[in-house]
Structure 1
Amino acid sequence: MEERLQKVLANAGVASRRKCEELITAGKVMVNGEVVSELGVKADPTKDIITVSGKAIKKEAKVYIMFNKPKGVITSVSDPQGRSVVTDYLKEIKERLYPVGRLDYDSEGLLLMTNDGDLAHKLMHPSHHVPKTYHATVERVPHGNALEKLQNGIKLEDGVTAPAEVEYHDIDPEKKFATISITIHEGRNRQVRRMFDAIHHPVTRLKRISFGGLVLGNLQRGKNRRLTAEEVSKLMESVAEVAIVPGTATAETAED
């Protein structure tokens, strides 16, 4: 797939995107034997021969990783405050990976990591309504009519939520807490927590157990594994039917 040349170079590890733009305007980049000195040119790194100062860039293989993010880890590739980030747990993987969407600092569970920018963008775009399922442990036990409000859509400060799939997963015998399984198809900022706040049952623990057909299963906290070819195919199929119109809204960055 064709992408802007500076992005292709940055993804190949040549330099930062801004530095790659400088290399292009300086006439140091060639595509299929021709010098490219203007920004905006696109290239396909899987088909085109791209060189920088006479050296061919490496063609990075697409990598898809399921990671079980622990609580207290930042969903980012770096943190100016020096806190633990998700890529700290993926140092054995040579390719540069980026998280698809986010789990906030206090949340845990399934996080998809990849260097496939096109698939990541489609999975995060609201037009595809990618399902995300969480186990939310909340204070006390919500009555059935409270859960019905979540199922039907509940008013938050940024609008009414889309209908959710909600059911009891576990209930404390002393009724001090309950774990609710909730599936949403949106990606608003801290959405699940705000939904339960709205019915007066604050979340004390939040774990994502599935995303777009992927299931966390028994993958241990802090561990990762590569997706199977079948899992990657299913992800691609799930976002293949809806075409994204340039300029349309994108999903929020923090999904829970």
Structure 2
Amino acid sequence: MKPNNTSSKNKKEEIKEELIRLNKFLSHNSNYSRREADKLIEEGRVKINGKVVTNLATKVSSKDDVQIGKKNIKEDKNKIYTVIVYNKPKGEIVSKNDPQGRRTIYDSLEKKYKHFLCVGRLDYSSEGLLLLSDNVDVVNSLMHSDLERVYKIKVNGVITKSVEEAMQNGITIEDARIGAHKNSKITAMTFAPFLAYDIQTNGEKFSKIKVVINEGKNRELRRFFAHFGLDVLDLKRLEYGGISLNNLPTGKTRFLSKEEYKNLRIFMNEDDRSI
């Protein structure tokens, strides 16, 4: 009979403590973002086991004694993260601050959400569903996923057969700077086939279309339609990964429903814990 090494292997794995980046540890167990944590480290305000650390590559385990100033930062393995839905209006920047002095989403959000991170972006002229969370892993997982995004768009012209063919089959545009931000360094861009689309109005002056995609590239839809000479007049995100705006008023927030949290935990490969 062959010896069963599974139990001894599991014990070794339990003994071995997982090491994670210090800024990640701080962002998970405090109200600081990773960027803010990096600044604290660089300023010499973080101690590990009584010693000041300034190396941003430092890693820690749950057994280490971590402090910011005199405050102990403990790992909370049972911490339940929060995700909110914000119905972003036009005229707000998805950023902590803006050099041009324009209004940001954090000017509108309650102060208790100031450390929340955004799942992707909506540009200044776009509106609609924006997800934010206090957990960086949730944000990264959602942002880099292929979950469906649903948009309602208004353009200043006709949705031609060429546009439909590109939506159905995908397209590579060598010069996709039209429709992009003036400071964008991205030129060529490949667009995957749209998952679905519904042309609701198609006219000479303007057309309205609902599209479903599963990518989140920089100003992707504005660049796509600009290639066909169509300016996007209005762009509103209605859904992200099955989470919808529903009747949420513009400029307001809501928490995820229990069902939405359940689906999110399944997506994150976690046990479904009650919220």
Return the alpha-carbon distance in structure 1 between the equivalents of residues 204 and 230 of structure 2.
12
Question: Which structure 2 residue ranges, 5 or more long, are not aligned?
Answer: 1-17, 175-187, 271-275
Aligned to 2:165: 148
1 or 2 for the larger relative contact order (CA 8 Å, sep ≥6)?
1
User: Which residue, out of 128, 138, 145, partners 1:119?
Assistant: 138
Per-residue deviation, residues 130-189 of structure 1 (Å, max 9, x unmatched): 2211111112331355323212102223233111034335216x6532211111222221
Shift of 1:221: 0.8
In structure 1, what is the Cα distance between the partners aligned to 2:65 and 2:260?
30
Pick one of 38, 43, 47 that aligns with 1:17.
38
Deviation, structure 1 residue 95: 5.8
User: 1:64-104 deviations in whole A, cap 9, x for unaligned?
Assistant: 11001111100112122221101112125356112111101
In structure 1, what residue type is equivalent to 2:22?
L
Q: For 1:76, what is the secondary structure of its paired residue?
A: coil
- Scaled by the length of structure 1, the TM-score of the pair is 0.77
Tell me the TM-score normalised to structure 2 length.
0.72
Name the counterpart of 2:101. 82
Task: Quote the Cα distance in structure 1 between the aligned partners of 2:127 and 2:138.
Answer: 22
* Contact preservation (8 Å) 2:156, 2:230: yes
Q: Using the alignment, how far apart are the partners of 1:188 and 1:238 within structure 2?
A: 21
Shift of 1:194: 1.2
Whole-angstrom distance in 2 between the partners of 1:86 and 1:95: 9
Q: CA RMSD in A?
A: 3.0
Rg (Cα) greater in structure: 2
Higher alpha-carbon deviation: 163-172 or 219-228: 163-172
The yes-or-no answer on 1:35 pairing with 2:50 is yes
Match of 2:66 in 1: 50
Identity %: 35
User: Where does the alignment leave 5 or more consecutive residues of structure 1 unmatched?
Assistant: 242-256
Q: Residue 118 and residue 138 in structure 1: after superposition, are their counterparts in 2 closer, same or farther (change >3 A)?
A: same
